[in-house]
Amino acid sequence: MDCLREIEGKQAHDPIFMEKMKKSSRCVCVPGPVIVGAGPSGLAAAACLKEKGVPSIVLERSNCIASLWQLKTYDRLSLHLPKQFCELPLMGFPADFPTYPTKQQFVDYLESYAKKFDISPRFNETVAQAEYDATVRFWRVKTVGGKGEEKEYMCRWLVVATGENAEAVVPEIEGSEEFGGDLRHTSLYKSGEEFRGKRVLVVGCGNSGMEVCLDLCNHDARPSLVVRDTVHVLPREMLGKSTFGLSMWLLKWLPMRLVDKFLLIVSWLMLGDTARFGLDRPQLGPLELKNLSGKTPVLDVGTLAKIKSGDIEVFPGIKRLKDHAVEFVNGRSQNFDAIILATGYKSNVPSWLKEREMFSEKDGLPRRPFPNGWKGECGLYAVGFTKRGLLGASMDANRLAADIERCWKAESKHCVCPFLPHFCHNHHHDFGIY
């Protein structure tokens, strides 16, 4: 879709539109885009837009930027990839940061990023609904504040930056009400300290599940791990280089399948046959699987050694829960004091965005695969849904900023809110309340 058609002056006298505006208790005219989400993706989009001279408003349901990182991650978390692959556009990490910055260092980086680009999100504003109004060719974004106050934003461009990890995935397990012990998602897990000496079952063998198991071991808990599916476990570094960085370099010269074979051979030499410990590998190689399904390989930071030593026991899928016990699909039962669900997150876009063309109602992700999922119709954009982490989010942010800049320049000769001369108090500012 090319730039949206310019707003016709006659809309200023459109009785239907004017009636809608009068009914709104509090409405904000936004000359630039509205960005939903103040995580790394939303910040990257705002910074790229600002660098091109396009103002924006960032809406955030929580009380801080990067709320997932600040409020819903465990203490020992660090970036799984080297910092050069995780920096946002226009600003790198401080030189004195380690190769794999800690959780707090990454949050500090994001705070500095927001300060540098003067990004001030509107916190505690939850988007209840966003819908394109074809009558006026604008997006209507309705929010609810922390005290229940309602507000509506009108904008030409809407940037969805709530990401793939907006809501915790909590599976229904038979017998959950009978368990009686501590049953929580990893979003509520901070440290193994509170589980010292306890028998803890971690459900899920992704990077988070594996690292939580290691953290529990380091705090003298007795963890076990449920592995329900096949998984690629790779060393975090190979031949003195990060596995991810080495893979990206090899892909410049070799086809993906050859790179996968190389990774698996080196992993076997370094880690051994993981299937011996209950960690069967998928048939597809790690990069091919990631490219097709978005499933990320586990980058081992020491958990596998604990599995090999017997400090972490591996179990198959769960059949049902009992009173402080778990029955597994192989018929075996074991007592546990707590269960940590490392079952991941999901998008929540379908719950608030009233649009069916760009985003799938099934999983809340763009229907078009990478790298074409960043742009929809009528000024709708997405950032941070590539299943390629912060690197993918940065690519999206640069693309959408360049695209919106074209439209912005094309309309720069016109009033920002030409259809609201009687309502905007000051339509030459970033926004006007009317």
Question: Rounded to an integer, what distance in angstroms lies between the CA atom of residue 249 and that of residue 263?
Answer: 13
Tell me, what amino acid is at 71? L
CA distance 199 to 181: 11
- pLDDT for residue 79: 94
**Beta bridge pairs of residue 241:** 238
Determine how many CB atoms are found less than 10 A away from the CB of residue 282: 15
Q: How much is the pLDDT for 414?
A: 54
**Cβ neighbours of residue 22 closer than 8 Å, sequence gap 6 or more:** none
For residue 371, is the peptide bond before it cis, meaning its omega torsion is within 30 degrees of 0?
A: yes
Both tokens assigned to 44: 């990257």
pLDDT of 15 reads 54
The architecture that CATH gives domain 9-166+347-433 is 3-Layer(bba) Sandwich (3.50)
For residue 68, give Cα distances in angstroms to 73, 74, 186, 205, 350: 7, 10, 11, 20, 19
What's residue 22's pLDDT?
Answer: 47
Read off φ and ψ for residue 56, nearest 5 degrees. Answer: -150, 165
Query: What pLDDT does residue 294 have?
Result: 83
Residue that the structure tokens 């988007």 belong to: 127
- The closest of 75, 41, 107, 92 to 388, measured between CA atoms, is 41
Measured over the CA atoms of residue 349, residue 353, residue 358 and residue 361, the dihedral's sign is positive
Predicted TM-score of the model (pTM): 0.88
The position carrying tokens 């402080």 is 324
The residue among 4, 22, 5, 3 whose CA lies nearest residue 420 is 22
Task: Give just the sign of the alpha carbon dihedral 395, 400, 405, 407.
Answer: positive
Q: Which CATH class is domain 170-341?
A: alpha beta
CB of 195 closer than 8 Å to CB of 183: no
Per run of 10 residues, the mean pLDDT along the chain (length 434 residues) is 40 50 67 97 98 97 96 95 95 96 97 98 97 94 92 96 95 94 97 97 96 97 96 94 94 95 96 94 94 90 95 96 96 96 96 94 92 94 94 96 92 52 36 34
DSSP for 34-50, please give it.
EEE--SHHHHHHHHHHH
Closest by CA to 329, choosing from 173, 222, 184, is 173
Under DSSP, the state recorded for 383 is -
Rounded-to-integer distance, Cα 102 and Cα 191, Å = 15
Q: C-alpha 229: how far from its chain's center?
A: 23
- The pLDDT of residue 356 is 86
Position 2 scores a pLDDT of 40
Residue range 407-434, pLDDT digits in tens: 888 876 554 444 443 334 333 333 333 2
Portions of the chain given CATH number 3.50.50.60: 9-166+347-433, 170-341
In the numeric block, the tokens 């226009």 are attached to 90
Q: What long-range pairs does 404-408 form, CB within 8 A, spacing at least 24?
A: 404/32, 404/33, 404/49, 404/52, 404/54, 404/157, 405/49, 405/52, 405/53, 405/54, 406/3, 407/3, 407/4, 407/156, 407/157, 407/379, 408/32, 408/52, 408/53, 408/54
Query: Exposure of 87 by Cβ count < 10 A (0-12 exposed, 13-18 middle, 19+ buried)?
Result: buried
CA–CA separation, 291 vs 257, rounded Å? 11
CB 44 within 8 A of CB 386: no
